[in-house]
Amino acid sequence: MKKKPVVTIQEEPAKEIKTTTNQEIKKAEPLVIKEEPKQVVSENGYFKPHYSQQVRITPVSRTETVTAGIFKTSSGWQDMKYYLLIDKVPPGTIVKIINPGNGSAIYAKVLGEMSGIRQNQGLGIRMSNAAATALDIKETDKFVVQISY
């Protein structure tokens, strides 16, 4: 005959339930939500404050009227970061571009040079299509702008 195992059940000790009065309830600290600082983007573009800082360090040394063209890019449409290609200007330099037809201005960052490419012959600069749209330029081939850097 098989013996049945003996099972013992232990009872847990009764838990003490604590009651509180209204005087014992502490008020919760107000929840403070910190927002990330928003970057202020000027209507003239993301790089305007950078241009102002650049001019404080190195005053504008060149202002010229040049023939410009457009290159296509997907940037600048939402964040207003405009770019251009120009010879003999260090990459990273911020350039002010003015449409002499309507006086509107934007600030664009130099990505690099454009020499050595046949389709750039006769152009002083090439700017992003978002930059041209911000300047209200309707031409797609060649147009004239004023630049300062």
Quick one: pLDDT band at residue 96, thresholds 50, 70, 90? very high
pLDDT of residue 16: 60
Query: Which 3 state secondary structure label does DSSP give 134?
Result: helix
pLDDT of residue 36: 45
- Tell me: pLDDT of 104 over 60: yes
Domain range 62-148, its CATH number among 3.10.450.350, 3.20.20.60, 2.40.40.10, 2.40.340.10: 2.40.40.10
- Tell me: pLDDT of 130 over 80: yes
DSSP 8-state class, residue 45: B
How confident is the model over 44-58, as a mean pLDDT? 93
The rounded distance, in Å, linking the Cα atoms of 133 and 97 is 12
Percentage of residues in the chain having pLDDT higher than 70:
72
Tens of pLDDT, residues 77-94:
999 999 999 999 999 999
The rounded distance, in Å, linking the Cα atoms of 139 and 144 is 10
pLDDT of residue 147: 98
Tens of pLDDT, residues 10-39:
666 666 656 555 555 555 555 555 544 444
Higher pLDDT, residue 74 or 123: 123
The rounded distance, in Å, linking the Cα atoms of 104 and 97 is 8
The rounded distance, in Å, linking the Cα atoms of 148 and 136 is 19
The rounded distance, in Å, linking the Cα atoms of 73 and 125 is 15
pLDDT of residue 109: 98
- Tell me: pLDDT of 2 over 70: no
With tokens 């990330």, the residue in question is 36
Tens of pLDDT, residues 114-123:
988 888 999 9
